Amino acid sequence: MNYFLLKHLHVSCVVISISLFVLRGSLELLGRPWRHWRVLRVAPHVIDTLLLGTALWMAWQIGQYPFVNGWLTAKVLALLAYILLGMRALGKSTPQGQRLPYFVAALVSVVYIVGVALTHSPSWGW
């Protein structure tokens, strides 16, 4: 696959993934039963699998790898933080009063991931 098309697919998946997380998190904070909608339960897994696949493919194509290149290592570690924080923000067992801080922290980590992706620098070039 052409690198330009692969990158476009990856960025499209990023936008959809973040949008779905914001939608689900907002519905959760508002106390709406989003888990009743199958698309909101299944689509994020499909999109995130495609997102990870395109990320691995691009890393292989450009010859840069996590735990070898600092910016990719930062993205992987921030991705793990995003996943854990997001799980807590959307988790059924998380008390209502703790959901907002986890949701905001997950969004901060995803902003960091996007910043690292755009600058190819863990410090965003500062």
pTM (two decimals): 0.90
Say which amino acid occupies 45: H
Residue 55's nearest CA partner among 21, 6, 17, 18 is 6
Task: List Cβ neighbours of 65 (8 Å cut-off, separation of 6 or more).
Answer: 59, 72
Q: What is the pLDDT along the chain (126 residues), one digit of tens a residue?
A: 788 999 999 999 999 999 999 999 999 999 999 999 999 999 999 999 999 999 999 999 988 888 888 999 999 999 999 999 999 999 999 999 999 999 999 999 999 999 999 999 999 878
Tell me how far apart the alpha carbons of residues 95 and 84 are, in angstroms, rounded to a whole number.
16
Tell me how far apart the alpha carbons of residues 47 and 97 are, in angstroms, rounded to a whole number.
29
